[in-house]
Amino acid sequence: MKLSVYGKGGIGKSTTSCNISVALAKRGKKVLQIGCDPKHDSTFTLTGFLIPTIIDTLQEKDYHYEDIWPEDVIYKGYGGVDCVEAGGPPAGAGCGGYVVGETVKLLKELNAFDEYDVILFDVLGDVVCGGFAAPLNYSDYCMIVTDNGFDALFAANRIAASVREKARTHPLRLAGLIGNRTSKRDLIDKYIESVPMPVLEILPLIEDIRVSRVKGKTIFEMAETDPSLLPVCQYYLNIADQVLAAPEGVVPKDAADRELFALLSDF
Residues in contact with Mg ion by CB under 5 A are 13-14, 37
Q: Tell me, yes or no, if 105 is annotated catalytic.
A: no
Distance (Å, rounded) from C-alpha 208 to C-alpha 228?
Answer: 10
Backbone angles phi, psi at 77, to 5 degrees: -110, 180
Distance (Å, rounded) from C-alpha 151 to C-alpha 162?
Answer: 17
Name which of residues 120 to 139 contact ligand ADP (CB under 6 A).
none
| 256 interacts with, out of Mg ion, ligand ADP, none, CB within 5 to 8 A per kind | none
- Part in contact with ligand ADP (CB under 6 A); list of ranges 10-18, 131-139, 223-231, 250-258: 10-18
Task: Give Dmax (Cα) for the chain.
Answer: 59
How do the residues of the chain divide into helix, strand and coil, expressed in percent and rounded to 5?
A: 45, 15, 40
| 205 interacts with, out of Mg ion, ligand ADP, none, CB within 5 to 8 A per kind | ligand ADP
As beta bridge partners, residue 134 has none
Which of 213, 244, 247, 263 lies at the binding interface for ligand ADP (CB under 6 A)? 213
Q: Tell me, yes or no, if 39 is annotated catalytic.
A: yes
Which of 2, 4, 13, 140 lies at the binding interface for ligand ADP (CB under 6 A)? 13
Marked catalytic residue, from 8, 29, 166, 217: 8
Distance (Å, rounded) from C-alpha 232 to C-alpha 175?
Answer: 21
- For residue 75, the SS3 value is strand
Using the minimum distance from each CB to ligand ADP, give the nearer residue, 113 or 220: 220
Could you report how far apart the first and last alpha carbons of the chain are, in Å?
Answer: 43
Marked catalytic residue, from 41, 56, 117, 126: 126
Distance (Å, rounded) from C-alpha 182 to C-alpha 7?
Answer: 15
Marked catalytic residue, from 26, 30, 39, 190: 39
Q: Which residue is nearest to Mg ion (CB)?
A: 14
Closest distance to Mg ion from the beta carbon of 25 (Å): 19
| 146 interacts with, out of Mg ion, ligand ADP, none, CB within 5 to 8 A per kind | none
Distance (Å, rounded) from C-alpha 222 to C-alpha 139?
Answer: 30
Marked catalytic residue, from 13, 29, 166, 217: 13
Distance (Å, rounded) from C-alpha 237 to C-alpha 235?
Answer: 6
Q: Is 15 in the site for ligand ADP (CB under 6 A)?
A: yes
| 139 interacts with, out of ligand ADP, Mg ion, none, CB within 5 to 8 A per kind | none
Distance (Å, rounded) from C-alpha 110 to C-alpha 90?
Answer: 25
Site string for ligand ADP, 139-178 (x = CB under 6 A): ----------------------------------------
Distance (Å, rounded) from C-alpha 105 to C-alpha 34?
Answer: 13
Backbone angles phi, psi at 32, to 5 degrees: -120, 125
Q: Tell me, yes or no, if 26 is annotated catalytic.
A: no
Distance (Å, rounded) from C-alpha 57 to C-alpha 30?
Answer: 24
Closest distance to ligand ADP from the beta carbon of 207 (Å): 7
Residues recognised as catalytic = 8, 13, 39, 126
**Interface ranges with ligand ADP (CB under 6 A):** 7, 9-15, 180-181, 203, 205-206, 209-210, 213
